[in-house]
């Protein structure tokens, strides 16, 4: 997935990250593909408007309506570092690498998702409106 070389800094302002990590909007179609990928991302813990998928997660909130509940900056921060909203969250920090204690061997020294993947997922989640 991601490499340390593709990582850019993220500035938290209030309850979100206002600026795109890549300087441009993500691609919602690629974002949807990432959201439903069972190897590393959202569908493992979340359910959502994915009628074709069996066995969706039930550990975290349903993603249906995510774009209505949260702004793009809030969605971005949730992916970068959900612990900013809930220090006890079980959601991985998909982009942050510092200060983590339980990191699998395959993910040490690199983020789970690169900046483009974060932006793609944000673009898709923003389309999920009530």
pLDDT tens for 17-50 read 999 999 999 999 999 999 999 887 899 999 999 9
The band of 5, judged by pLDDT with boundaries at 50, 70 and 90, is: very low
Name which of 80, 81, 89, 42 is nearest 62 in CA terms. Answer: 42
> In angstroms, rounded to a whole number, what is the distance separating the alpha carbons of residues 93 and 41?
11
Q: Tell me how far CA of residue 22 lies from CA of 36, 57, 91, in angstroms.
A: 22, 29, 23
> In angstroms, rounded to a whole number, what is the distance separating the alpha carbons of residues 95 and 66?
20
pLDDT tens for 91-125 read 888 887 777 667 677 777 778 889 999 999 999 99
Q: How confident is the model at residue 106, as a pLDDT?
A: 75
């Amino acid at each position: 997935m991601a490499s340390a070389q593709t990582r850019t800094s993220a500035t938290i302002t209030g309850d979100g990250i206002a600026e795109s990590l890549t300087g441009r909007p993500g691609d919602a179609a690629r974002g949807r593909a990432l959201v439903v990928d069972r190897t590393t991302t959202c569908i493992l813990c979340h359910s959502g408007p994915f009628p074709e998928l069996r066995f969706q997660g039930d550990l975290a909130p349903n993603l249906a309506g995510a774009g209505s509940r949260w702004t793009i900056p809030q969605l971005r921060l949730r992916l970068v570092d959900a612990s900013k909203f809930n220090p006890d969250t079980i959601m991985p920090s998909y982009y942050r690498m510092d200060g983590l204690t339980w990191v699998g061997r395959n993910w040490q020294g690199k983020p789970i998702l690169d900046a483009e993947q974060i932006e793609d997922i944000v673009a898709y989640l923003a389309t999920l409106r009530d």
